[in-house]
Amino acid sequence: MQPRTPLAPPLRTAVMLCAAVLLSAAAGCGRSARGASGELEVPPPTATVPTAPASAPGPAPSASPTAMSPSAAASATPDGRPLGRPGKWRITTYYTALQSLYRGKPKAVRGCLKFHCSHGKDPLGSYPQDFLKVIQTEGSGRITSGPERGRYLNWSSSVGFWLDDTTRDSAGRPLRAWTSAAADRSVLARGRRFVITDCGREGNGHPVEAKVCRKFQKARWTVTDLFRPGYGGEDHADVYIGEETGSRLAESPFYTTLRGATIGPSS
């Protein structure tokens, strides 16, 4: 992350959504790949992402989606083979926070008033401290009150806080819920599309709830961000599950880690 993303000045691109990769589940992470150290890799200014083809119909859900064997998972992918090592993927999740769900003590924030900026000092308003904490883990939050209502407060360790009209991947495009993903470039290249064919188990070792697994299996993910070398890890993907609405996503079953998952190519 995970993730997660911004672009600072065009020739000094910085990752907006991701501050870092949380490497220790024991430290209270493991569901989001965003945290206090390590970022997604910043692409070169000339980098482009191939246009994604139209989504193909997804494989029919298995009666036991968390128990699909590697051979079954491979046959469920468009070309009949998994990506990476079957049953070895770790899938983490990240999201956009919603200010109205947080009640912490207000804290003034300084940063950039616009997109193409880095480490600005302009006043951006005051926001709940718990809201800001989530933003510094997940990378972005939507403002729901005050003069900036409807805009986004984004954060990256390479840029600091800034106001924007959207969330962004590292190419500057809006993140897409249940579509945008990050991965290690040694396994999945930028622009690679994939599906999760076997959910494995939750980070705590429990089986993944069937409806949760079906949601992940139905999605068609596209790698729009890359982890910095040494932070993403082999067979690790960080996927974006969207914006909070009526409740905190941190309490949702979809904010999880899928361990021992299998993925395949999507056309």
**Per-domain boundaries in the chain:** 63-96+174-265
d(CA 105, CA 134): 14
Strand partners, 189: none
| 157 residue type, one letter | S
pLDDT in tens, 6-52: 333 322 233 333 333 332 222 223 355 544 333 443 332 222 233 33
What is the value of pTM for the model shown? Answer: 0.74
Note the pLDDT of residue 229. Answer: 64
pLDDT at 153: 98
Residues of the chain with pLDDT under 50: 1-30, 34-78
b/e map of 215-239 (b: 16 or more CB within 10 Å)?
bbbebbbbbbbbbbeebbbebbbbb
pLDDT for 86 equals: 94
pLDDT of residue 221: 98
The whole-number pLDDT of residue 116 equals 85
Q: Is 133 exposed, middle or buried (0-12, 13-18, 19+ CB in 10 A)?
A: middle
pLDDT tens column, 92-104: 999 999 999 999 9
pLDDT of residue 261: 97
Per-residue model confidence (pLDDT) at position 250 = 95
Q: Angle CA(235)–CA(237)–CA(241) in degrees, nearest 5?
A: 160
